[in-house]
Every structure is written in structure tokens, then in C-alpha cells.
């Protein structure tokens, strides 16, 4: 971003005083009247709720099978080193040690651990064990032993000879000439041939132009340049990753795994282990949260390989320390924004330039990067000239991967602060700035078409958009005009309010596929089998609601089984906010077929045309009489023209309707300590029809608290050798129940014509709000802008101190 | 070595390794409702009642509590107060992945036994030793408030 700004508004010395107080416009919001459904739109109880609350539902580590052996890993103590020799002789002698694997005796198959569709839009740059280790936490060897203690003991006796290589820690210098090269080995790169430049430590490059950015900037009256930084973070789902593998009675490999992507896990394991998919069954039991951290296949194949080598069941349960050191994290990013506007704040041109740190390996490197543009720029579609450029680099730091929000979170941190800055400088209400520039129903953005997930995107018009209503309702709820720019002060504590607008998507259009299978039982109940993966979100319940609604049966009559590659049809898994929308549409279509079949059988029994029959409450009513579902199913199974009432359906969407949201936050900054306390948090969300409002609120609240915690207190600390220092919850703190502010989620219903019963997704969108909204509120309170995350009390304190001494 | 313990009212002898934690003993004996989230006393997923007081079982050495009484989530599932808590947590939407839930049910049971009508701050304090990454705690607090209202 080398050009000089044409005109830059002068930063006024006392911005606060010169700005005229903004008046509250009239409140005119009238909620959209939701269509009345029988099961959809109701907060039915989560179908696995009680068994979870009783501790009866089984998670991976809860499966106990005889003869199980345990896997433990030896991790690299060096950030960058070549392995010259591994001596396992001492470790092998320990009684109870069964097998040891490492780079010299295991399959050397290049792959990516990203649990994405095939061919993955992530570079193939890693192996089960790499002979060059690239971060502290890279796997060097694995031991299979009778107990975890024996395995741990064996690890200490493995002797490894390393040749140290210079490490690369500063991601902003990663592509400079002379930087240590992390992946010089030939043969690495993308299956689908995307740009890959290992000589510049670059695993992804993106450039998208809509309109003519340079011309747009020249035509602009004001230009703004800003740089923002976001940081590493742990998903910190409560259940550490776990895998159990064993051979069943037919010598097939069964892998029980805490995975978000059972079908991708099967495919990737088959490839690495060199066995066909038919020999592998992956089961996802209950899983204790994922948030993207389990959209990676990086453990299953170790357990499976041991099982294949030894015939023994093998179990891996990571410790929390391992989760912190050797799994996946949020991608740190540097974002440059350059924006040109008219005097009234209408955007003329916007350029987001992102530099992303992927750590040692490139998993999700291209797609997370792209999402910082593709999920962000369409929101401000009024700018005719848009550019997105991005680069993802390798460093000798922990591996970044998918994390709720997936690049959009990073992008919105920058965009929303940029809007706040522009509004401030142009003396506008930031809310007005969004109203002027944000996308509306019936509109589109060229970005949708140009920027997809590793390839071009998919054109789409916005057919539902509740953003204006979200803004209006949020404004009122936080009492914006009474608080904004007021700096209400109590001793050393000052209050401020800030806001942020955001969107996400609903699945990856023309890529993500979900499918469903259903069959009817004699009592009128329905088995619903879906590949969709409930990782605690409640998707089993939501899909059951969609089925129950379509078939007009109570939810208890839908028996859901999900995520077993032997018994459920394919689904990409739980990521990209896809399940409610994509898998939901598959279930809807499947249920519609079942409905047709039920009516068909009833028509045959009653000798009436199916079109004249009415279905309600597990009966079909004809002119002559009504038939119960039991009668219908019994007839189909036993009486005449027997067949199983059953259907299957797949769905892949041409569009990815975005959920929209506006967040408003009030904070209190203590000028004496730097402490930032969130007082009140309002999230107004448009996710179309909320299939289950309570579960929707739960998704929003979970994301908000995760977001606040990430913004204010969560931070990876590394030592000078690149080792993460705070690898437990004692030192990597999360928000607890005692820390949370008043949080209010307001659902703004709209109807998305492409979604099942009008629904869009909701699991990720709220993650994008807390960081920018809080940063903006802090600025409102104390006039200091924090462009780099996290905004810890220490940082605020230091900044206040330097300011006051200046 | 062997240790006698009363778990959920049943007295049994458990074979344990030196240094084994109560969490390990319980899970190995099939009480898998007791979850392991950190093994460091930081998350509360492993919470049980020891002589009716809540403790993180990962922080207790089994050998040190010979002959004492332990109640796990499995045992509480016969307790009417715990049942009510379970129902209200589910009804409020306070159970997502459910990995933190057994520990939270144990905590809430201990809290409401001692103080059937806690205010919001007291509930928040009682839950402060638990981590939940899914719910943002809002609906967990709400669920417990709803129980208190029914007591
Ligand atoms: S496992 Fe005991 S407190 Fe976390
Ligand atoms: S519900 Fe998942 S950690 Fe609490």
C-alpha cells in the first residue's frame, strides 16, 4: 500500500468535544411475523440433553474395550530441526511397550490435515512424521504401550539426534529474502494447483479485484489507511481430542473419534494407511465441543496405524497441555485496510490486504485467508471498487487451523474499527455509516462470485437480510444515543459504547454436500440417519425438528443417528456454518419423499387420489376415513405391494445465504488499572427462521463469551525458542461464569427462501463481533484505539501510562 | 495397592496404582460421567462430592481418601434435586456439548443443598470453578435460577 493518500482528514486534537451529539432517530422496528410451524421455531428440548446431563452419553474416551493400549507422543523440543537419527532400543526394552513409530518406519505420504472436501484447498505439506520438525510440539515419535504411564516412561528413553536449523518466528518477515525456508522439499503443494511458493514461505496467495481500486481511490474525497493485528488463540473446547481404534470381528478398522468430519477422516486415513475406505468405519460419538479444532485429521491415523500393525486396540487422549501445544489454533493476521470515501461517508473504494501466519504447516491457509475478504467485503457492497489481496506464510510456530469465524473474525476486527475511525474523523454516527454502506435485501456483491473457497465463488443475491433491523433494535437496547461519546465517569472508571456489524455464510456453495436417509417403522416413528456431525451444537435436534415438521409427527418419533460412516450417508461434516442449512435441506427433501410415500400408501388403501388426502398428527385423512401411520406402515410392510417406506436425499446449495448480526457493547475502563470490564452486550441476530430459538441463542452467547474472552484475556505467550509457555487453564485463562457481563441475544427473524423452513446458519457469525465492538467502545471511553489484539489490562494500563507521561 | 471406597452408596475395593487420582480410579471403574478436561483442577469437569462436599476428583489422590464416601454424577441421577437441575439445565438450553455438564450438575446440587435460593452473583461464584466453552454460561445460570424458583 504505497500510494499517498490524496486528502487525509486532520486528526483533531479534541475529537470528542468538537463532535456534535447525535440525536436518536425514531424507533420504528416492527418484527417480521414468523410463519407458524408446529415443531420448527419451537425451543424443543435438545434430544441428547438429559443423557448428557446425567453423564450417560458416551464420549470417545468413555468407550472401554478390553486389551486397549495407549498412545503417547514424543514432541520436538526445537522449533526447527532436521532429525538425523532416532534410537528406540532403550524404550523398546520397557515391559509393556508394544510398538514405536517415527519418520523412519511409517508411511511417508504427503497430505494435509485439513478436514475439507476433496481435493482439499490446503497444501499437501505434511506427513505422519516429518523428518524435519517445524515447531515445538511437532510429533517426532509415538509409543504404544499397555498403560499411559508406561508409554510416558518409554518416551523419555527415545534418543533423537537433531541438526538444528534457524527458526523463523516473525511472520511479517517470513517472505523476505534470506528468511529460513520451512518447506524446501520438492513435491509439496496443492492437488488442485493453487499458487504455492515455498521459496517465500508462502502457502497461499490471493488477489481479487472488483471495479478499479486505484481509480476509486483517486475519485475519493477522503482516504484512510490503517493496520490491525489479531492473535493466536486456543479453541479450548472442554473435551481434549480423543481417538480409539480397534479391529472388529471381520478385521475391519473401527475408529471412534472426537471429530467434526468423520467422512473426511475416513478418506484421509485410507489414503495415509494405504487401505481402501471399505476397511474403515469412523464413528463420531458425543463430542465435547470443537469450534474448528476437530475439523482436522491429525490423530486418527496414528491410533489406526498402531492397530493395523499390532492388532491391538489403541487409544489416544490428549492432555490439556498437548491441546495447547500440538493441535490447532486461530490464525494470527495482519490486516491493512485502505478505504476511500465521499464526504458523506459513502465508500468509493476499499482494499483489504491480509498477511496470515499459518505456523508450521499450511492447513486451511488459503481458505481462512480468503474468508477475511469473502465474508467481509460483501457486507460493504456500496463501495464500487474493491480489492482483496492476501498472503499466508509459514513460521516455526504452532499450526493454525479452522476456528469458529474462520478469517471473517479477523477481517471484521479490522473493518469495524475502520468504520469507527472513518465515522469519528468525518464526524458521523458510525451506525449511519453502516446504514449507508451495508448490503441489503435484493442486492449482491461481485465478491460472492469472484472469491470462493480455493476457487471462484458463487454468484448470489441476498434474499433475506435483517441487518437494518438488527441495528435498530440493538441501538435501542444499549441506549446508544444516551451513552455514545458521553464518557460517563465514576472516579477512575469511564464508560463507552461501541458497535460492530457482521455476516457469515451458510455452508460452502457448490462444494458442501449433506445427505439424509429415512425409513418408517410400524408405530409411525421414523429413523433419520444423517452424516451431519453434532459437536454439541444441537444439530441432531434441529434436523429432527425439520423432519418432524415435514411429517407432522412429534419430535419423539424421530430417531436420529448421526455420523457413522458405515450406517449414515455422506456429509461433509460440521464446519462452515453448514449443518442447519445444507444438511437441513437434505433432511427436508428426504422427509418430503417419505411424506409422498405415506400418502401414496394411504391412497392405495383408501382408493382415493393422494392429492385429496390430509396429513396431520400421525394420521392421513381421506373422505371415507382416517388411517393412522401405524395402519399405513403395517399395510406397506405386510399386506399388499409390500415395501419399506424409505427415502434418501442429498443437497448441495448453489448459494450460501449469510446470517447477519449487529453487536453493541458497553464497557467500563479503569484508568488507574487498565482493567476493561464489559458491562452489557447486545447481539441482534438475523439467522432467518430460528429452527430452535434456545439453541440459536446458545450458539450466539457461546460465541460472544468466547469472543470477549479472546479479546481481553486470552493470549499465547512464547519464549524466545518458540515454545508456548501458558499451556494450561491456570495460565491461559478463559472467562468463567463469574466474569460474564449482562448478555442479551435478540433474534431478528427473517425468512430465507433457500433455507429449510426459512432458516440460515448461526454457529459462527457472532464470533465476529466482540473484538471490534469492544475496541470501539474502549475508544469511545478513553480515546485510545487498540489496533492489535488482545486488549489486556496490562496493555491498556501501559498505553495510558505512556500517554499521560507524553 | 487396594483401597476401599464408598461410591454412590456402594462400598467396594479398588485396585489402584501409586499416585492414582480419584478421577482415574472412578473412570477406570466405569464412572465415565466424571469427565477429564484438564487434570489440573482448572476446569471442574471432574467434580464429584467427597463426603458431600464438591471436589475436583483430578486433585484428589485415591489412596488418601480410603473409606470415604464419593458421589458421582451417576449417583446423583437418583437424587431428586439433581434431577430437577438436570431438567432445568436442558430446558434452559444450558447443555450444549454436555462435557462440562456433569460437573456443573454436581456443583449446582451442592450449592442448592446449602442455599436453595442463591442470588445471581452467588450462582456465578459457585460456577466460577467450571469452564464451559459452548454456552457462555448465560443459560446455565438461567437454568439454576429456574431450579431455585421451583424450590
Ligand atoms: S479435570 Fe479436574 S478440574 Fe479439570
Ligand atoms: S456445554 Fe460444552 S463445555 Fe459446556
pLDDT of A686 reads 98
What digits encode the pLDDT tens for the residues A651-702? 999 999 999 999 999 999 999 999 999 999 999 999 999 999 999 999 999 9
pLDDT of A43 reads 97
Q: Which ligand has the nearest atom to the CA of B40? A: 1
With contact defined as beta carbons under 8 Å apart, do A120 and A113 qualify? no
| CB within 8 Å: B33 and A55 | yes
pLDDT of A21 reads 52
Whose cell is 449446582? That residue is B108
Burial state string for A220-257 with b = 16 or more CB within 10 A and e = fewer than 16: bbbbbebebbbbbbbbbbbbbbbbbbbbeeeeebbbbb
| CB within 8 Å: B34 and A55 | yes
Average pLDDT of span A740-759: 97
Closest residue CA from atom 3 of ligand 1: B41
Q: Which ligand has the nearest atom to the CA of B135? A: 2
Atom of ligand 1 nearest to the CA of B43: 4
pLDDT of A26 reads 74
Q: Give the integer Cα–Cα distance in Å for A721 and A347.
A: 44
* Residue B61 CB neighbours (<10 A): 15
Helices (H) and strands (E) in chain B, counts: 6, 5
Provide, as residue numbers in chain A, all residues whose Cβ is less than 8 Å from the Cβ of B97: 52, 237-239, 286-289, 535-536
Residue to mutate among A52, A66, A745, with most B CBs inside 10 A, is A52
pLDDT band at A422 (very low <50, low <70, confident <90, very high): very high
pLDDT band at A453 (very low <50, low <70, confident <90, very high): confident
Pairing relationship of beta strands A513-520 and A646-652 according to DSSP bridges: antiparallel
Closest CA to A453 of A525, A361, A369: A369
pLDDT band at A3 (very low <50, low <70, confident <90, very high): very low
| CB within 8 Å: A535 and B97 | yes
pLDDT beyond 90 at B125:
yes
With contact defined as beta carbons under 8 Å apart, do A179 and A366 qualify? no
Atom of ligand 2 nearest to the CA of B94: 1
pLDDT band at A803 (very low <50, low <70, confident <90, very high): confident
pLDDT beyond 70 at A19:
no
pLDDT band at A115 (very low <50, low <70, confident <90, very high): very high
pLDDT of A138 reads 98
What digits encode the pLDDT tens for the residues A241-253? 999 999 999 999 9
CATH architecture of A63-165+242-317: Alpha-Beta Complex (3.90)
CATH architecture of A513-652: 2-Layer Sandwich (3.30)
What's the whole-number average pLDDT of chain A?
A: 95
Task: Give distance in angstroms: CA of A636 to centre of ligand 2.
Answer: 43
Provide, as residue numbers in chain A, all residues whose Cβ is less than 8 Å from the Cβ of B99: 59, 237-239, 288-289, 536
Q: Give the integer Cα–Cα distance in Å for A182 and A166.
A: 10
Average pLDDT of span A565-588: 95
Average pLDDT of span A699-714: 98
pLDDT of A27 reads 75
DSSP 8-state secondary structure symbol assigned to residue A137: T
Q: Residue B4: enclosing H or E segment and its boundaries?
A: strand B2-7
pLDDT beyond 90 at A5:
no
| CB within 8 Å: B77 and A55 | yes
The class that CATH gives domain B2-75 is alpha beta
The DSSP annotation for A422-442 comes to HHHHTT--HHHHHHHHS--TT
ipTM: 0.98
Atom of ligand 1 nearest to the CA of B42: 3
Interface of A with B in 145-204 (CB under 8 A): 149
pLDDT beyond 70 at A13:
no
Q: Which ligand has the nearest atom to the CA of A537? A: 2
pLDDT beyond 90 at A502:
yes
Q: Which ligand has the nearest atom to the CA of B56? A: 1
With contact defined as beta carbons under 8 Å apart, do A772 and A664 qualify? no
Atom of ligand 2 nearest to the CA of A288: 2
What digits encode the pLDDT tens for the residues A623-653? 989 999 999 999 999 999 999 999 999 999 9
pLDDT of B9 reads 97
A319 in contact with B, Cβ within 8 Å: yes
Distance from CA of B60 to the nearest CA of A (A): 18
pLDDT of A23 reads 66
Average pLDDT of span A780-793: 98
Q: Give the integer Cα–Cα distance in Å for A231 and A233.
A: 7
Fold of B79-150: DNA polymerase; domain 1 (1.10.150)
Identify the residues whose C-beta falls under 6 Å from ligand 1. Answer: B 36-39, 41-46, 56, 58
B84 in contact with A, Cβ within 8 Å: no
pLDDT beyond 50 at A306:
yes
pLDDT of A18 reads 43
Q: Give the integer Cα–Cα distance in Å for A78 and A737.
A: 38
pLDDT band at A185 (very low <50, low <70, confident <90, very high): very high
A728 in contact with B, Cβ within 8 Å: yes
pLDDT beyond 90 at A7:
no
Task: Give distance in angstroms: CA of A31 to centre of ligand 2.
Answer: 32
Ligand 2 near B97 CB (within 6 A) = yes
Pairing relationship of beta strands A242-247 and A314-317 according to DSSP bridges: antiparallel
Same fold, A63-165+242-317 and A333-508+655-802: no
CATH code reported for the domain at A333-508+655-802 = 3.30.365.10
Specify which residues A59 forms β-bridges with: A286
DSSP 8-state secondary structure symbol assigned to residue A555: G
pLDDT of A17 reads 38
Total length of chain B: 151
Whose cell is 505434511? That residue is A126
Find the DSSP H helices in B1-151: 22-28, 73-76, 80-92, 101-114, 120-127, 138-150
Residue to mutate among A55, A240, A695, A730, with most B CBs inside 10 A, is A55
pLDDT band at A32 (very low <50, low <70, confident <90, very high): confident
pLDDT band at A139 (very low <50, low <70, confident <90, very high): very high
Total length of chain A: 806
Atom of ligand 2 nearest to the CA of B133: 3
pLDDT beyond 70 at A10:
no
What digits encode the pLDDT tens for the residues A66-99? 999 999 999 999 999 999 999 999 999 999 999 9
Atom of ligand 2 nearest to the CA of A289: 2
Provide, as residue numbers in chain B, all residues whose Cβ is less than 8 Å from the Cβ of A695: 93
Closest CA to A411 of A443, A357, A373: A373
Nearest to B43 among A55, A695, A729 (CB): A729
**Best mutation site among A240, A260, A289 for ligand 2 pocket (most ligand atoms within 8 Å of CB):** A289
pLDDT of A456 reads 84
Nearest to A53 among B32, B90, B123 (CB): B90
B120 in contact with A, Cβ within 8 Å: no
Provide, as residue numbers in chain A, all residues whose Cβ is less than 8 Å from the Cβ of B136: 698, 701-706, 740, 743
Q: Give the integer Cα–Cα distance in Å for A662 and A500.
A: 6
The nearest alpha carbon in chain A to B78 belongs to A54
| CB within 8 Å: A53 and B135 | no
pLDDT beyond 60 at A775:
yes
CA distances from A417 to A12, A519, A779 (A): 18, 51, 10
Task: Give distance in angstroms: CA of B106 to centre of ligand 2.
Answer: 15
pLDDT beyond 70 at A329:
yes
B49 in contact with A, Cβ within 8 Å: no
pLDDT band at A22 (very low <50, low <70, confident <90, very high): low
pLDDT of B34 reads 98
Whose cell is 484438564? That residue is B38
Distance from CA of A540 to the nearest CA of B (A): 11
Pairs of CB atoms within 8 A across A/B: 184
Q: What are the boundaries of each domain within chain B?
A: 2-75, 79-150
pLDDT band at A50 (very low <50, low <70, confident <90, very high): very high
pLDDT beyond 70 at A8:
no
Residues contacting A608, CB < 8 A, separation 6+: A622, A623, A624
Nearest to B90 among A45, A535, A702 (CB): A45
With contact defined as beta carbons under 8 Å apart, do A710 and A771 qualify? yes
Q: What are the boundaries of each domain within chain A?
A: 63-165+242-317, 333-508+655-802, 513-652
pLDDT of B67 reads 97
Q: Output phi, psi for A444, to 5 deg.
A: -140, 180
| CB within 8 Å: A55 and B135 | no
Task: Give distance in angstroms: CA of B28 to centre of ligand 2.
Answer: 23
Find the DSSP H helices in A38-170: 49-53, 89-92, 148-157
Average pLDDT of span A258-275: 98
Distance from CA of B147 to the nearest CA of A (A): 15
pLDDT beyond 70 at A771:
yes
Residues contacting A83, CB < 8 A, separation 6+: A102, A103, A131, A132, A133, A140, A160, A161, A162
Amino acid at each position: 500500500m504505497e500510494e499517498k493518500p490524496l486528502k487525509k482528514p486532520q486528526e483533531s486534537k479534541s475529537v470528542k468535544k468538537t463532535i456534535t451529539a447525535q440525536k436518536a432517530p425514531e424507533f420504528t422496528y416492527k418484527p417480521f411475523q414468523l410463519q407458524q410451524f408446529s415443531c420448527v421455531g419451537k425451543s424443543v428440548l435438545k434430544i441428547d440433553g438429559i443423557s448428557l446431563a446425567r453423564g450417560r452419553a458416551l464420549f470417545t474416551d468413555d468407550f472401554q474395550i478390553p486389551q486397549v493400549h495407549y498412545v503417547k507422543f514424543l514432541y520436538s523440543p526445537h522449533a526447527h530441526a532436521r532429525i538425523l537419527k532416532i534410537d528406540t532400543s532403550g524404550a523398546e526394552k520397557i515391559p509393556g511397550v508394544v510398538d514405536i513409530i517415527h519418520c523412519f518406519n511409517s508411511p511417508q505420504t504427503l497430505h494435509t490435515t485439513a478436514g475439507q472436501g476433496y481435493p482439499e484447498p490446503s497444501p499437501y505439506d505434511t506427513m505422519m512424521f516429518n523428518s524435519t520438525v517445524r515447531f515445538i510440539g511437532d510429533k517426532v515419535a509415538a509409543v504404544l504401550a499397555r498403560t499411559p504411564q508406561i508409554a510416558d516412561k518409554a518416551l523419555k528413553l527415545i534418543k533423537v539426534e537433531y541438526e538444528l536449523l534457524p527458526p523463523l518466528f516473525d511472520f511479517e518477515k517470513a517472505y523476505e529474502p534470506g528468511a529460513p525456508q520451512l518447506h524446501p522439499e520438492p513435491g509439496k503443494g496443492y492437488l488442485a494447483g493453487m499458487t504455492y511458493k515455498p521459496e517465500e514461505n508462502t502457502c497461499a496467495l490471493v488477489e481479487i479485484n472488483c471495479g478499479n481500486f486505484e481509480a476509486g481511490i483517486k475519485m475519493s474525497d477522503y482516504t484512510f489507511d490503517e493496520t490491525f493485528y489479531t492473535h493466536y488463540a486456543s479453541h479450548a473446547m472442554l473435551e481434549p481430542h480423543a481417538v480409539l481404534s480397534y479391529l472388529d470381528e471381520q478385521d475391519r478398522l473401527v475408529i471412534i473419534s472426537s471429530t467434526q468430519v468423520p467422512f473426511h477422516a475416513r478418506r484421509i486415513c485410507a489414503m495415509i494407511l494405504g487401505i481402501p475406505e471399505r476397511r474403515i468405519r469412523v464413528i463420531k460419538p458425543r463430542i465435547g465441543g470443537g469450534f474448528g479444532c476437530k475439523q482436522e485429521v491429525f490423530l486418527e491415523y496414528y491410533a489406526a496405524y498402531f492397530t493395523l500393525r499390532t492388532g491391538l486396540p489403541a487409544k489416544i487422549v490428549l492432555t490439556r497441555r498437548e491441546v495447547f501445544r500440538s493441535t490447532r489454533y486461530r490464525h494470527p493476521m495482519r490486516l491493512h485496510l485502505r478505504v476511500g470515501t465521499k464526504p458523506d461517508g459513502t465508500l468509493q473504494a476499499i482494499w483489504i490486504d491480509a498477511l496470515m501466519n499459518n505456523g508450521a504447516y499450511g492447513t486451511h491457509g488459503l481458505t481462512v485467508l480468503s474468508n477475511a475478504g469473502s465474508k467481509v467485503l460483501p457486507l460493504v457492497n456500496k463501495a464500487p471498487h474493491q480489492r482483496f489481496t492476501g498472503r499466508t506464510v509459514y513460521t516455526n510456530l504452532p499450526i493454525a487451523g479452522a476456528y469458529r469465524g474462520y478469517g471473517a473474525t479477523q477481517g471484521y476486527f479490522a473493518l469495524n474499527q475502520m468504520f469507527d475511525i472513518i465515522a469519528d474523523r468525518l464526524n458521523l454516527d458510525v451506525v449511519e455509516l453502516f446504514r449507508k454502506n451495508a448490503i441489503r435485501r435484493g442486492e449482491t456483491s461481485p465478491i460472492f462470485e469472484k472469491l470462493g473457497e480455493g476457487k471462484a465463488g458463487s454468484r448470489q443475491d441476498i434474499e433475506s437480510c435483517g441487518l437494518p433491523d438488527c441495528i435498530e433494535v440493538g441501538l435501542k437496547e444499549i441506549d446508544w444515543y444516551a451513552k455514545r461519546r458521553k464518557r460517563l465517569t465514576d472516579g477512575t472508571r469511564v464508560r463507552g459504547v461501541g458497535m460492530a456489524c457482521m455476516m457469515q455464510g451458510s455452508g460452502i456453495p457448490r462444494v458442501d454436500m449433506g445427505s439424509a436417509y429415512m425409513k418408517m417403522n410400524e408405530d409411525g416413528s421414523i429413523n433419520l440417519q444423517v452424516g451431519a456431525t453434532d459437536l454439541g451444537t444441537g444439530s441432531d435436534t434441529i434436523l429432527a425438528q425439520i423432519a418432524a415438521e415435514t411429517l407432522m409427527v412429534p419430535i419423539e418419533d424421530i430417531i436420529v443417528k448421526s455420523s457413522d460412516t458405515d450406517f449414515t450417508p455422506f456429509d461433509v461434516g460440521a464446519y462452515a456454518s453448514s449443518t442447519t442449512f445444507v444438511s437441513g435441506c437434505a433432511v427436508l427433501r428426504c422427509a418430503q419423499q417419505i411424506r409422498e410415500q405415506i400418502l401414496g400408501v394411504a391412497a392405495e388403501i383408501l382408493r382415493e387420489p393422494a392429492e385429496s388426502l390430509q396429513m396431520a398428527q400421525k394420521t392421513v385423512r381421506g373422505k371415507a376415513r382416517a388411517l393412522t401411520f401405524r395402519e399405513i406402515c403395517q399395510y406397506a410392510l405386510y399386506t399388499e405391494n409390500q415395501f419399506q417406506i424409505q427415502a434418501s436425499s442429498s443437497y448441495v446449495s448453489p448459494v450460501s445465504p449469510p446470517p447477519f448480526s449487529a453487536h453493541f457493547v458497553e464497557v467500563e475502563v479503569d484508568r488507574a488499572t487498565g482493567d476493561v470490564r464489559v458491562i452489557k452486550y447486545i447481539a441482534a441476530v438475523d439467522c432467518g427462521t430460528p429452527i430452535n430459538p434456545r439453541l440459536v441463542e446458545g450458539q450466539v452467547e457461546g460465541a460472544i463469551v468466547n469472543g470477549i474472552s479472546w479479546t481481553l484475556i486470552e493470549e499465547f505467550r512464547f519464549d524466545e525458542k518458540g515454545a508456548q509457555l501458558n499451556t494450561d487453564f491456570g495460565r491461559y485463562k478463559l472467562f468463567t461464569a463469574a466474569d460474564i457481563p449482562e448478555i442479551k441475544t435478540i433474534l431478528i427473524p427473517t425468512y430465507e427462501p433457500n433455507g429449510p423452513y426459512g432458516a440460515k446458519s448461526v454457529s459462527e457469525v457472532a464470533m465476529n463481533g466482540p473484538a471490534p465492538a469492544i475496541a470501539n467502545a474502549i475508544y469511545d471511553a478513553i480515546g485510545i484505539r487498540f489496533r492489535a489484539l488482545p486488549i489486556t489490562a496490562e496493555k491498556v494500563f501501559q498505553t495510558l501510562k505512556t500517554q499521560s507521561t507524553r | 495397592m487396594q483401597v476401599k471406597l464408598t461410591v454412590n452408596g456402594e462400598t467396594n475395593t479398588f485396585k489402584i496404582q501409586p499416585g492414582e487420582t480419584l478421577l482415574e480410579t472412578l473412570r477406570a471403574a466405569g464412572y465415565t460421567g466424571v469427565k477429564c478436561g484438564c487434570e489440573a483442577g482448572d476446569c471442574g469437569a471432574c467434580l464429584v462430592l467427597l463426603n458431600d462436599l464438591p471436589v475436583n476428583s483430578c486433585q484428589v489422590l485415591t489412596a488418601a481418601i480410603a473409606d470415604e464416601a464419593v458421589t458421582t454424577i451417576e449417583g446423583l441421577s437418583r437424587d431428586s434435586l439433581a434431577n430437577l437441575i438436570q431438567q432445568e439445565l436442558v430446558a434452559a438450553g444450558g447443555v450444549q456439548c454436555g462435557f462440562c455438564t456433569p460437573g456443573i450438575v454436581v456443583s449446582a446440587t451442592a450449592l442448592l443443598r446449602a442455599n436453595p435460593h442463591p442470588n445471581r452473583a452467588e450462582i456465578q461464584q459457585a460456577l466460577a470453578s467450571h469452564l464451559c466453552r459452548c454456552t457462555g454460561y448465560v443459560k446455565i445460570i438461567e437454568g439454576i435460577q429456574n431450579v431455585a424458583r421451583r424450590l
